[in-house]
Structure 1
């Protein structure tokens, strides 16, 4: 049978309360006493009953992560970091895929399949301020991604416009004056596309270059096939671009495949850059220049925000003031733009 707190207390020669204080990380235990308890914990291979502890504290020990696409590499990598950060707090993560559909996103806001969770990390595509204002579920909530919402909600994202501008400036610094962009979307809820297009246009304007819509073909999705098709459109122009900035790495990998299929050298004939720094881009041929969001930092900050809300309600009787946090990013230069 599994060892209990009473068994550990008996072996260490201390009270059950003292063992509980050590297990729960309280600091006001004398070092010699803590050492005795830790030796007893190790000897008996004690494992805390997290379910019972959470029940006593009015929590489930479970948080939810709702994302548009689980098979998109960026979201898969982000999920891993969220799970790691949650595990450090003894939390289990349940995953929900919304496909970016408004009805699914509204359902997520009102509860994950009626399962009680301590907090929700949510990367919305369509829901906005009105849906948040009408939300009845009081579960702690942190928004991820580019969906900018002026409301009382914690939010973690990178500066997409600045990142896109920096990547376009990198292409300009290489001497390219005709730069295409793949990833423009006409959907009014497509904030990723809107912000990254704005950064691209801002860099062009600063360089004294005009924005040409023909150099920014629209895409419905951000998959490899969309990048391949958009690149074919660009290469069919009378004056194709010298470089192409793709609004995510999957688009860039598709674009790169089309360029190579047309007999072009990358970057000799056309430079190609992406966004997200997914693992595939580090092993493509050539390797992919990209914007690298700090996914680990995004996950860590978001989970910390949930923890502050959960404990803030229990200890202080109210949630912490909502915060908008901008995570770090950097431009990673690889072979697809510099050879």
Structure 2
């Protein structure tokens, strides 16, 4: 059982009201009492029950969203979608950026900022299966992304492997057979990362088509940024390896690769077809416009907010955690030879 506010009050020899005042930084609490209560909170590992905070109803009307970086287009657009989904339910959103740092991610799950929100949508990058215990507790929490499978919380994610396979199959369907991959993880140790799962889809598509793999076509390492995409495409060009298509594991990588290809005089899509992943808005306006996997960002936001609201309002014994995967589609644009967007390839329900 997780420690309660009653346990803290009993151990510190103070009232529940005093513990509450300490948690809310009430200046009326004396320094010695504050230090004693804080020490007990740390010792017991107490985390406030968000549903018991706020107004008389026990709700603040605010939910949290923790993402690695708002400079990454996908997470900025995800935040926008979450805000819109929350607004429809009369909620506001408090956003926190973790910078993809493990200690910051753990702090997000236990920090004092939790007292301002009724529940948290959390997209971790660095904590993994070994950190599953930090997810345990009574606070309403919904995980986003691929980290930590089979944990004690609801989890909304995407079809990373099957959608990546569909992306490569799209390139095969337009006659490309020398397909490069940019953004692959440095090592294959982390089977639960988005990069590993998407790379798996790449290999599955080639194997199903009977195409022998060429390790020279897989560019590993680096963060998923334009700079990494630029460097990855330049590495392919310098290597003189033959390639007629690139699958970039996200759109920002693809946009960087596009710059390198155009600068080198390679025509897209005539010489090299290009597909990304995430379907960020910027891809619609690149020249040529970028074909991309739409991983169901709007559905992810709507579903995650709905699940979180259910947890916030849950009464009685906690129901079993749910895992939901959003549907995906391939949005075909000019970088693979299409002049209009076509979401014709989609996942099964």
Shorter-chain TM range is 0.7 to 0.9
Question: Do the aligned residues in 2 keep the contact of 1:110 with 1:135 (CA within 8 Å)?
Answer: no
CA distance in structure 1 between the partners assigned to 2:102 and 2:59 by the alignment: 29
Aligned-residue CA RMSD (Å): 1.7
CA distance in structure 2 between the partners assigned to 1:194 and 1:142 by the alignment: 22
Aligned counterpart, 2:117 = 117
CA distance in structure 1 between the partners assigned to 2:134 and 2:266 by the alignment: 53
Q: What SS does the aligned partner of 1:309 have?
A: helix
Aligned counterpart, 2:273 = 271
* Alpha-carbon displacement from aligned partner over 1:132-155 (angstroms, at most 9, x marks no partner): 324465311101112242212111
| 1:204 corresponds to 2:198 | no
| 1:334 corresponds to 2:333 | yes
| 1:90 corresponds to 2:87 | no
Matches within 5 A, 1:27-176: 55-111=55-111, 113=113, 115-135=115-135, 137-176=137-176
After TM superposition, give the deviation of residue 129 of structure 1 in Å: 3.1
Cα pair distance change 1:271/1:209, threshold 3 Å: same
After TM superposition, give the deviation of residue 283 of structure 1 in Å: 0.6
Matches within 5 A, 1:311-326: 311-312=313-314, 316-326=315-325
CA distance in structure 2 between the partners assigned to 1:213 and 1:289 by the alignment: 24
CA distance in structure 2 between the partners assigned to 1:254 and 1:98 by the alignment: 24
Counting matched residue pairs gives: 284
Provide the TM-score with structure 1 as the length reference: 0.80
Give the stretch that moved more between structures: 204-213 or 133-142. 133-142
CA distance in structure 1 between the partners assigned to 2:119 and 2:76 by the alignment: 20
Q: What SS does the aligned partner of 2:277 have?
A: coil
Aligned counterpart, 2:294 = 292
CA distance in structure 2 between the partners assigned to 1:178 and 1:186 by the alignment: 21
After TM superposition, give the deviation of residue 307 of structure 1 in Å: 0.7
CA distance in structure 2 between the partners assigned to 1:134 and 1:125 by the alignment: 14
Aligned counterpart, 2:193 = 191
CA distance in structure 2 between the partners assigned to 1:114 and 1:192 by the alignment: 27
* Alpha-carbon displacement from aligned partner over 1:25-47 (angstroms, at most 9, x marks no partner): xxxxxxxxxxxxxxxxxxxxxxx
Provide the TM-score with structure 2 as the length reference: 0.78
Q: What SS does the aligned partner of 1:268 have?
A: coil
Aligned counterpart, 2:16 = none
Aligned counterpart, 2:342 = none
Question: Do the aligned residues in 2 keep the contact of 1:183 with 1:218 (CA within 8 Å)?
Answer: yes
Q: What SS does the aligned partner of 1:56 have?
A: coil
Aligned counterpart, 2:28 = none
Cα pair distance change 1:254/1:140, threshold 3 Å: same
CA distance in structure 1 between the partners assigned to 2:203 and 2:148 by the alignment: 20
Aligned counterpart, 1:230 = 232
CA distance in structure 2 between the partners assigned to 1:139 and 1:113 by the alignment: 13
Question: Do the aligned residues in 2 keep the contact of 1:148 with 1:191 (CA within 8 Å)?
Answer: no
Matches within 5 A, 1:1-12: none
CA distance in structure 2 between the partners assigned to 1:268 and 1:90 by the alignment: 49
* Alpha-carbon displacement from aligned partner over 1:300-332 (angstroms, at most 9, x marks no partner): 1000101111111xxx32323210101011001
CA distance in structure 2 between the partners assigned to 1:211 and 1:152 by the alignment: 39
> 1:310 aligned to 291, 308, 312, which one?
312
| 1:246 corresponds to 2:284 | no
CA distance in structure 1 between the partners assigned to 2:245 and 2:297 by the alignment: 27
Give the stretch that moved more between structures: 214-223 or 182-191. 182-191
* Alpha-carbon displacement from aligned partner over 1:34-74 (angstroms, at most 9, x marks no partner): xxxxxxxxxxxxxxxxxxx9611111111110001111111
CA distance in structure 1 between the partners assigned to 2:221 and 2:284 by the alignment: 24
After TM superposition, give the deviation of residue 130 of structure 1 in Å: 3.3
Cα pair distance change 1:278/1:108, threshold 3 Å: same
Question: Do the aligned residues in 2 keep the contact of 1:110 with 1:137 (CA within 8 Å)?
Answer: no
After TM superposition, give the deviation of residue 226 of structure 1 in Å: 0.3
Q: What SS does the aligned partner of 2:227 have?
A: helix
Gaps of 5+ in 2: 1-52, 339-349
CA distance in structure 2 between the partners assigned to 1:226 and 1:82 by the alignment: 28
